[in-house]
Amino acid sequence: MKYYIIAGEASGDLHGSNLMKAINLEDPSADIRFWGGEKMAAQGGTIVKDYKELAFMGFWEVLINLKTILNNLAFCKKDILRFQPDVLVYIDYPGFNMRIAQWAKKQGIPNHYYISPQIWAWKENRIKKIKRDLDALYVILPFEAPYFKEKHHYDVTFVGHPLTQVIQEERQEKETLTHYIKDNDKPIIALLPGSRKQEINKVMPVFLSVIDRFPHYHFVIAGAPGIDPQWYQKFTLHPSVSLLHNQTYALLKNAYAAIVTSGTATLETALFGVPQMVCYKSSGLSYAIAKRIVKLEYISLVNLILQKEVVKELIQEDCTHEMITSTLTSLGEEKVRKQIENDYLGLTKLLGEKNASQEVAQAIITDLQ
């Protein structure tokens, strides 16, 4: 069968690569064409466009890049028609993917969506388009299936979280960082500032402002795969700061604590068992708009899933030198670390042990037969 997969971010590239691997196992003759990145490309198939050309974050950033986004939508539709897939598979990235799904429904192409749009957080009225345009929706957070069923009378399939399987396998392989970083005899504080330059530029100055308060730690930045390592040089001038490029999991295996921006990285950090704080800053306009329309008590996936503040969240005006200093100090306390460890065990239990990629691949293929 012919599969057309669209992933528009680094996390989508990771989950897309595992899905492609599972599809190839279930359907050895699969012909896959995709939007994604190097991880998906490593599984074979034909790449159409790299996700790094698509990554626009925030309301203002989307607005100023609107022409590029519209051109990408038009190009995608033409490419789908040329390929004539048996199924379209969307991975997260709802702003783009739901528009393609609306168009594809009219073309009679089956629409399968993996990693649901977060309508429980904002733009809940998207449920109308979900019901109208999607043939199947696969959700990865334990509270999503009852949310869709009870509130919107819509059946979805909970497949487990794809990171549980990935990280379980990763944790079995030990790695050391002695060849990569300076001051390798000190405990490591992992800095995960995101995968987009604009968000990194927002948070890194305040992250780095606390370094001299913690001379007994070494700070290591997780360099995003889509950014040239040379770009990070301005952040690594201090002798207590190193860069580890495209090796986030190796970093988390060796980290004592972490400072993380909101997103999938908060869940990855938790699944590696690393005590963390979540820090987030965006442009003033983007934050003001988001604050009006996003109705959530927490922004990190760890806290959302457990429905309590397991990890400290320092958002916008709270993301300061003083607050980061205080929180990082507390993450060194044995009592605090033990409580976080216990909460992480509860998180892992809630996420379950399903192999999400395999579940989705089998569901898609069964539906098409």
* Share in percent of the chain as helix, strand, coil (round to 5): 50, 15, 30
Tens digits of residue pLDDT in 217-243: 999 999 987 799 999 999 999 999 999
| CA count, 13 A, side-chain hemisphere, 144 | 22
Q: Where are the domains of the chain?
A: 2-160+354-368, 170-351
Q: Which of 52-61, 92-101, 153-162, 306-315 has the lowest mean pLDDT?
A: 52-61
Q: Residue 16 pLDDT > 90, yes or no?
A: yes
**Signed CA dihedral, 74, 79, 80, 84: sign only:** positive
Pairwise pLDDT comparison (229 vs 262), residue with the higher score: 229
Q: Is the CATH number of domain 170-351 1.10.760.10?
A: no
Which residues sit opposite 255 in a β-bridge? 188
Give per-residue pLDDT as tens, 175-191: 777 666 666 689 999 99
CA distance 303 to 121: 14
CA-wise closest residue to 248 among 323, 163, 365: 163
Place 329 in a pLDDT band, splitting at 50, 70 and 90. very high
Indicate the CATH number for domain 2-160+354-368.
3.40.50.2000
Intrachain domains 2-160+354-368 and 170-351 with the same fold: yes
pLDDT at residue 56 greater than cutoff 60: no
Calpha distance 366→109 (Å, rounded): 16
Q: What is the 3-state secondary structure (H, E, C) of 241-274?
A: EEEEECCHHHHHHCEEEEEECCCHHHHHHHHCCC
- Tell me the pairing of strands 46-50 and 87-91: unpaired
